[in-house]
Chain A
Amino acid sequence: MDEATGAEVRRFILTSIPSVPHLETLLLLWRERNREWDAAGVAQRIYVPEKTAAAVLADLGASGLLACDDQLRRCRFDATREALAALVGRLDAEYARDLVGVTRLIHSRSSRQAQAFADAFKFRKDTDHG
C-alpha cells in the first residue's frame, strides 16, 4: 500500500470508525452489499449482542456510511457510492494485512483527537466520503 492510500485509510479510521464492531459491521455490509441487514443478522455474523449491533447500525446510518430506513433499523451498503466502496475495500485489505495495527489505531484516543485537531484547519469540511 502506498503512502497516500495508507494515510487516507488511517484518516478514515480515525475520523469515521469509533470501535471495532463499527469496523466489522461496515466491512460485513460492504462485502455483502447486495442485501439488506438488520441488527439480528449483523449480531449473528460479528458475534456481538443484538443491542450492540442495533446501536452500531444506527451510528453508521446516522453518519451516512450506510443507507438505512427512517428508523435506522434496516441498512445496506450503497454500492453506487464508488469512492466510498473503494475506500472501504482498501480498509478491508489493510485490516486483513495488519489487524493489530488497525485495532490499535481505532483505540488510539490521542491520535483521534490529534486528527480532529488537524482536520479543524480544513476550510472545506468533508461530509461525504462518496
Chain B
Amino acid sequence: MSEKKDKTSRRGFLRAGLVLAGSVVAGTVLKPFNGVVVAGEEPKGDTPWYGIGIDIEKCIGCGKCAKSCKLENNVPMEPFFFRSWVEQYTIAKDGSVKVESPNGGIDGFKQELPDDQIFKSFFVPKMCNHCSKSPCVQVCPVGATYVSPDGVVLVDEKYCIGCRYCIQACPYGCRYLHPAKQVADKCSLCYHRIKKGIQPACFEMCPTGARVFGNLRDKSGPLVKFLRDHNCLVLKPHLNTGSKLYYNALSGEVR
C-alpha cells in the first residue's frame, strides 16, 4: 500500500513539475502578445504629447495636404518624394481592391470604374504615424532619428549618414532619402510650426477639417474629444509600433 502511494506521489510530482515548467515556457513565449497593444502608452511627464486624428469620412481627396506639406517643408516636387500624401481606395462589387495615388493626390483623382461597379470608395490621407515605439528610431545606427520629448519622431539632418535603414524599417512607408541632402527625410509634424503654437501646414490647409491635431495629454482638447466621439483605429496595430495617428472609419482593406 505504502509502496503504491510512493509511486503515485513521484508520478504526481513529476507531472506537476512538467506542468509548471511548461506553463513558465508558454508564459514567456506568449508575454509579448498579451495585453492590448494597439496604441502608444502615455509616458510620464508634463510636456505635451502630440498625436493626430484623421477622419476618413470627411476627406474629399483634394490633395491640399500633400501640396501644402511640400511647399512648407521644401520637399522635392518630383512625384516620388512625399511626407504626406493621399490614397484613393476603390472596392469593386466583385471584391477587388484598387489603391491609387497619382502624384500623391496633388493633381486630383480620377475614378475609372463606373458608379454601378463600385461597392465603396474613399480617400485615406497618409503621413508619419509618429509612433511611440517607432521601428525607424530603433534601427538608426547613429542616433540621427529620435522621438522628441513631445512625442514627435524627428530626423537630425546633420547627424544622418544616409544609410537608409530607417526607410526600410518604417512599416508605413513614410520616409524617403532626400535627393539633394542625401539624408533621410520624413514628416516632422511641422515641428517649427507647432513649437510656435501654430498648426502643422496640412492641418491648417485641409478644407474640410478632416485632420485633427492635438495634445493627447490634454483630456479636454480637440484630439481627445475626436477620439472619444469616433471609433478610431491605428494602421497595422499587430506590429506594435505604438502609432499615434488615429483614423476614424478606417476600413479593413487599408494597409
Are chains A and B native binding partners rather than an unrelated pairing? no
